[in-house]
Amino acid sequence: MFRNLCYTVFSTLRKNNPNNKMSGRPHLSTQEQETPREQFLKAAESISPKYQDRLSAKTLEKIKGDNLFFDIHAHCFTFQNVPKNFTRLQLIKVPHGFFKSWIYKFLGRFIKEPDSGIFAFFSVGAYYNSTLITKKLLNNYSKFFKEKKEEKHFVIGMLSMNMEYAISQEIPENHERQMQDLIKTCQYFDREKKLKYTASILPFVGLDPNNKETYQLFLNAFANNHYLHPVFGIKIYPTLGFLPSHPTLMDVFEIAEQKQIPITTHCGGAATKTDSHKVDIKAIQINKEGALELKEETFEGSAKDDYVAFFNGPDRWKPVLKKYPKLQLNIAHFGSSDQWENYFENKKNPQNHVFQTLKLVETNENVFADISYTFFDRIALTEIRDLMIANPIFQKRFLFGSDFYMVLSENDIHDIMTQFYQVFENHENLVRALTIENPKQFLFPSGI
């Protein structure tokens, strides 16, 4: 009875709480960069093309060893790093930390599935720094592999979220604070010796070309020694209101291709998106003659599906790959649950994002695809396994990623990992490809 009552109360609060309704801005426009383009390109020349220069000494030592496990796609931002009231159920107005996390865990016991998962998600996001969130993930991994009587050195691609310009709500701790916190997490795992496991964190900086500080943020991450720990890669999140072939990003990708800086792009659902229903779009597109040209248009939409269809299609990367074919690119998520349902109805639908992901991987030697979040779904995971068995290219280009802690809304890490190894039972070569060999190729294409 109490469980049903609690569920009814929280469902009502979530539905009626005015703070859960994003007011948004009427129009999202792209901004000119504060740093002149010529100055940006000149400053970027100083960036080293060697991946070794984007790793700490300890990480460089560890990745040359054995017993590695790569999770190429995870998050450790706190709810202080995202727009105020952006996440649902932010109803508990006590400070972030262990107490708030415990409250969410407690409440989750009284909520029926599948809604109970949202409380697991909130219990992690309520932590007050990224180190605690990262430890939560690594403790789960360590426990899982201890049960398998295996020791691993964990290498985690940790992706920041840069929502500052795309979403109009206040962010308690801005992206710079988020990056500084992430850097402290990297340093913590480099020096900590009392843990029962060892780990290396590879930070990826989030870039939004509509923001006028994108050039400078890139230079701070890779050229200016702005942070006290090297930044390794770049995260792109198109549903924040841009296409990947935005001219500013094309300049960034020119440098990334030259310097072998890996890119991970969100190509899943639109749970995170700009809160504007009208967006100015500036992007390089392929015209009817097959040439690249700059086009400007305006996107207008309201439903999440509108944003998914317009911004998140993997084919949106075709102009980028046409100009920069050696770019190390990871297409994340294999689409959303809806895209998978449509894929199983018609596996050759060219509009489907699973189909587009597979074609990009198959036809571009430097394009990879991670299974983050999607791997909670046993049916989709089984299809991914079968695709790898059938196609040698997929065996070399699929990557393991968790999308922690987002995936906790579906299930806990231990159960999902158990399912992963069950689906890939008797296919140890594919597990090794997903979790070691392919991530190395994506991150370190020149070899270790």
Phi-psi region of 290 (alpha: psi -120 to 50; beta: other; left: phi over 0): left
CB–CB of 445/333 below 8 Å? Answer: no
Q: Is residue 288 part of a domain?
A: yes
pLDDT of residue 232: 98
- pLDDT exceeds cutoff 90 at 255: yes
| 175 pLDDT more than 70 | yes
Instruction: Give the domain extent around 223.
Output: 2-443
- Where b means 16+ CB within 10 Å and e means fewer, 356-381 reads bbbebbeebebbbbbbbbbbbbeebb
Query: Does residue 107 have a pLDDT over 80?
Result: no
In a domain, 345, yes or no: yes
User: Which tens digits make up the pLDDT trace of 31-48?
Assistant: 999 999 999 999 999 999
Q: Is 220 domain-assigned?
A: yes
On whether residue 283 sits in a domain, the answer given is: yes
Taking residues 388-408, report their average pLDDT.
Answer: 96
Return the pLDDT at 226.
Answer: 94
- H/E stretch holding 332 reads strand 329-332
Any bridge partners for residue 299, and if so which? 279
Residue 213 domain flag: yes
Average of pLDDT values for 125-146? Answer: 92
Q: Assess if residue 108 is contained within a domain.
A: yes
What pLDDT, on a 0 to 100 scale, did the predictor assign at position 15?
A: 40
Q: How confident is the model at residue 13 (pLDDT cuts 50, 70, 90)?
A: very low
More confident residue, 4 or 392: 392
User: In the chain, what is the greatest distance between 2 CA atoms, to the nearest angstrom?
Assistant: 66
* Residue that the structure tokens 């198959």 belong to: 362
Task: Decide if 364 contacts 325 (C-beta within 8 A).
Answer: yes
For 429-438, what is the mean pLDDT?
98
Look at residue 257 and tell me whether its pLDDT is greater than 50: yes
pLDDT bin (cut points 50, 70, 90) of residue 101 is: low
Percent of the chain with pLDDT over 90: 73
Q: How far apart are CA 259 and CA 261, in angstroms?
A: 6
Which residue is associated with the tokens 């400078």? 216
- Specify the pLDDT at position 447: 83
Mark out the alpha helices in 303-427 (DSSP H runs).
304-311, 318-323, 337-345, 353-363, 378-390, 392-397, 413-423
Alpha-carbon Rg for the chain, nearest whole angstrom, is 21
pTM as predicted: 0.90
Average pLDDT over residues 313-326: 97
For residue 34, give the amino acid letter: E
> Which CATH number fits the domain that encloses residue 180?
3.20.20.140
Task: State the total domains in the chain.
Answer: 1
Q: Flag whether 448 is in a domain.
A: no
